[in-house]
Amino acid sequence: MRVYDADHIRNVVLAGHQGSGKTALSEAMVYASGGLDRLGSVNEGTTLSDYHPSEKERQMSIFTSMLHAEWRGHKINIFDTPGYPDFVSEVIAPMKVADTALYVMDARAGVQVGTELAWTYGEMTQKPAMFVINHLDHSESDFRLLVEQIKERFGRGATVVQLPGGAGTRTIIDVLRMKELFYPEGEREPEIREIRDEFRDEADELHRTLVEDIAENDESLMELYFEQGELDEDQMREGLRAAMIERQLFPIFVTSATEAIGVSRLMSFIDNVCPSPAAKPAETMEGEMIYANEKADDPVAFVFRTMSEDHVGEYSFVRVYDGTLQSGQDLDNPRTGNSERIGQIYSINGSERDSVQKMVAGDIGALVKLKDTHTNDTLRGSSSTIQIKPIEFPEPRYRMAVRARQDGLEDKLAQGLHQIAAEDPSLVFDHDPLLNQLTLSGQGEMHLQIARGRLQRRSGVEIDFIRPRVSYRETVRKRARASYRHKKQTGGAGQFADISLMIEPLNGEFNPPSDVKVRGEERVTTEWGAEIHFVDAIVGGVIDMRRFFGAIQKGVLDAMAEGPVAGFPVGDVRVVIYDGGMHPVDSNEAAFKTAAFQGFREAFHKAKPVMLEPLHDVTVTTPDDFTGDVIGDLNTRRGRIQGIETDGPFQKIIAQVPEAELFQYSTTLRSLTHGRGIHHARFSHYEAMPANVQEDVVGAVSEDAVPA
Q: Of 610, 607, 581, 628, nearest to 686 (Cα)? A: 610
Question: For residue 260, what pLDDT is reported?
Answer: 95
Whether 282-380 and 398-466 share one fold: the answer is no
Q: Is 72 helix (H, G, I), strand (E, B) or coil?
A: coil
The single-letter code of the amino acid at 112 is Q
pLDDT at 707 over 60: no
pLDDT at 706 over 60: no
Answer whether 81's CB lies under 8 Å from 13's CB. Answer: yes
How far is the C-alpha of 402 from the C-alpha of 706, rounded, in Å?
A: 16
Question: For residue 128, what pLDDT is reported?
Answer: 98
Between vectors from CA 258 to CA 257 and to CA 264, what angle results, nearest 5°? 40
Quick check: pTM over 0.75?
Answer: yes
Give the helix/strand (H/E) hosting 444: none
167-205 pLDDT tens trace: 778 999 999 999 999 999 989 999 999 999 999 999 999
> Could you name the CATH architecture of 474-607?
2-Layer Sandwich (3.30)
Question: For residue 401, what pLDDT is reported?
Answer: 95
The single-letter code of the amino acid at 562 is E
How many Cβ atoms are within 10 Å of 642's Cβ, its own excluded? 12
Torsion sign across C-alpha atoms 634, 441, 448, 465: negative
How far is the C-alpha of 307 from the C-alpha of 348, rounded, in Å?
A: 13
> Mean pLDDT, to the nearest integer, of 551-569?
95
pLDDT at 638 over 50: yes
Q: Of 276, 17, 249, 268, nearest to 133 (Cα)? A: 17
Q: Of 273, 347, 254, nearest to 68 (Cα)? A: 347
Q: Which residues pair with 463 in a beta bridge?
A: 404
Q: Is 558 helix (H, G, I), strand (E, B) or coil?
A: helix
**Record: fold of 6-272:** Rossmann fold (3.40.50)
Question: For residue 705, what pLDDT is reported?
Answer: 46
> Mean pLDDT, to the nearest integer, of 56-74?
90
Domain boundaries, the chain: 6-272, 282-380, 398-466, 474-607, 611-702
Q: What does CATH list as the number for 282-380?
A: 2.40.30.10
Please report which confidence band the pLDDT of residue 309 belongs to, taking 50, 70 and 90 as the band edges. confident
**Alpha-carbon Rg for the chain in angstroms:** 32
> Could you name the CATH architecture of 398-466?
2-Layer Sandwich (3.30)
415 HSE (CA, 13 A, CB side):
8
In the chain, pLDDT over 70 holds for what percent of residues? Answer: 98
Q: Of 396, 498, 407, nearest to 447 (Cα)? A: 396
pLDDT at 311 over 80: no
382-432 pLDDT tens trace: 999 999 999 999 889 999 999 999 988 888 998 889 888 888 999 999 998
pLDDT at 513 over 60: yes
How far is the C-alpha of 669 from the C-alpha of 679, rounded, in Å?
A: 8
C-alpha 336, offset from chain centre: 23
**Record: fold of 611-702:** Alpha-Beta Plaits (3.30.70)
How far is the C-alpha of 417 from the C-alpha of 395, rounded, in Å?
A: 17
> Mean pLDDT, to the nearest integer, of 33-41?
91
The single-letter code of the amino acid at 447 is H
Q: Which residues pair with 181 in a beta bridge?
A: 172, 192
> Mean pLDDT, to the nearest integer, of 33-53?
86
Answer whether 379's CB lies under 8 Å from 301's CB. Answer: yes
The per-residue pLDDT of the chain, averaged, comes to: 93
262-282 pLDDT tens trace: 999 999 999 999 999 999 999
In the chain, pLDDT over 90 holds for what percent of residues? Answer: 78
Q: Is 363 helix (H, G, I), strand (E, B) or coil?
A: coil
How far is the C-alpha of 169 from the C-alpha of 256, rounded, in Å?
A: 10
